[in-house]
Amino acid sequence: MKKIKSSRMKVLVLNSGSSSVKYQLFNGSNKKSLVQGKISNIGTDEAEIWLKRDKGNAVKFTKSILNHELAIRQILDSLLNKKTGFIKDVSEIFAVGHRVVHGGEFFSQPTIITDEVLARIEECSQLAPLHNPAQIKGIQACQKLLQGVPEVAVFDTAFHQTIHRETYLYGIPYAYYEKYKIRRYGFHGTSHYYVARQASKLDGRPIQKLKIITCHLGNGSSLAAVKHGKCIDTSMGFTPLEGLIMGTRSGDIDCSAVFYLMRQENLTIDQADSILNKESGLKGLSNNSNDMLKIIEHSKKGDEQSQVAFDAFCYRIKKYVGAYTAAMNGLDVLVFTAGIGENSPPVRAKVCDELDFLGIKLSNLVNNQTIGVEKMISKDESPVKVWVIPTNEELVIAEQTLNVIYSDVKQEG
């Protein structure tokens, strides 16, 4: 392991999807974000490149980028750009932190990527076929382009590994858990961890003393019950399909309804899978859109389907808030985050409506004024504090990447 020169130490965070790569470069010494960007439509002649420097305007252009390796090469080129870049040489990239969606039961901590770790991540691809293979491509591209730079995998599932057996097991024959590891894993762990930690900082009470429910409400949505700093339950399950009604995902549904539908419509497994993951949720219920902004717009104009989609979305969240309050024997802090949670006062108001018996008293005035910023939106006298906290998964990935590498250096002596 090379000697660390903190003034020149940068951490690159990568989030690779099937046709996109998001990235952010952090200054390792103060964890300040220097630049963030996204390349989408990878695999086409018209890949979209977007980047925004700290204190700068966003830049957007298109270019042919045919695979993940070329996308990461493009990212490195822009970081190295003599006029507008942030590094003079790739050696300034001290480490790369990768978001990895599924770590199965193998990983409860961020982990330095070795051949053995990569093989385990590959094994977990069966559990997250849309995500892990893309993230493996990102890891392999970095292994090639940034030889010798340590890479760390930060798992979405890791924060939920503290959930107890009676909570993560499904009521199916135990042999299927043993044979196929069918159980609740949970996702969005890095986001739930960040906002729970931030809520305790803002609230001024140690996380070890708090019972927190975090609501990550975006295109994919999940709740987590965080008791005394540890996740004890979360709404997504074996896959990110379970739990809340989402943009295009159904969330909880009676499995027999799916069997019935398959028989009635003569559907294949893949077709049923696609309906539940891509045609359901807000999109399916509203007959219109997966976009909460549009759902609200259409509801205001009197569109009943959009109204029912909005109501169903909010009701499901409220139901989980009640369940998790019971699971924790109380609630101190409720947090809203992600695209909808951070930006939608109507959703937050509807979820918190008539929860005064739980001690949730929202300030309508502050709620309506709060969009995309850290703010307490409950009344001062509310026993449960309600916060809006913009999530920052990339920062957590950068921090955890550095921590893992520092502890590895220490262990080496």
Q: Which residues bind ligand AMP (CB under 6 A)?
A: 218-219, 247, 291-293, 338-340, 343-344
Q: Residue 251's closest CA among 271, 213, 222?
A: 222
How many Å apart are CA 163 and CA 186, to the nearest integer? Answer: 9
* Inter-helix orientation angle 255-265/269-278, to 10°: 120
State the minimum distance, in angstroms, from the CB of residue 304 to ligand AMP.
19
Q: How many residues does the chain have?
A: 413
Nearer to ligand AMP, 215 or 358 (CB): 215
Catalytic residue among 45, 156, 203, 408: 156
State the minimum distance, in angstroms, from the CB of residue 344 to ligand AMP.
4
Burial of 64 (0-12, 13-18, 19+ CB in 10 A): exposed
Residue type, 169: L
* Contact yes or no for 275/293 (Cβ under 8 A): no
State the minimum distance, in angstroms, from the CB of residue 162 to ligand AMP.
24
Nearer to ligand AMP, 242 or 393 (CB): 393
State the minimum distance, in angstroms, from the CB of residue 292 to ligand AMP.
4
State the minimum distance, in angstroms, from the CB of residue 313 to ligand AMP.
10
Produce one character per residue of 223-256: b if its CB has 16 or more CB atoms within 10 Å, e if not: bbbbbebbbbbbbbbbbbbbbbbbbbbbbeeeee
Nearer to ligand AMP, 172 or 371 (CB): 371
Nearer to ligand AMP, 10 or 22 (CB): 22
Residues 6+ apart with CB under 8 A from 273: none
State the minimum distance, in angstroms, from the CB of residue 33 to ligand AMP.
17
**Cα angle at 254 between 253 and 259, to 5 degrees?**
110
* Contact yes or no for 396/156 (Cβ under 8 A): no
Is 356 assigned a catalytic role? no
Nearer to ligand AMP, 37 or 339 (CB): 339
Query: Checking DSSP bridges between strand 93-100 and strand 151-155, what pairing results, if any?
Result: parallel
Q: Order across the sheet with 44-53: list the strands.
A: 58-65, 44-53, 32-40, 21-27, 10-16, 93-100, 151-155, 111-112
Pinpoint the alpha helices (H) of 223-280.
Answer: 255-265, 269-278
Nearer to ligand AMP, 293 or 326 (CB): 293
Catalytic residue positions, numbered: 156
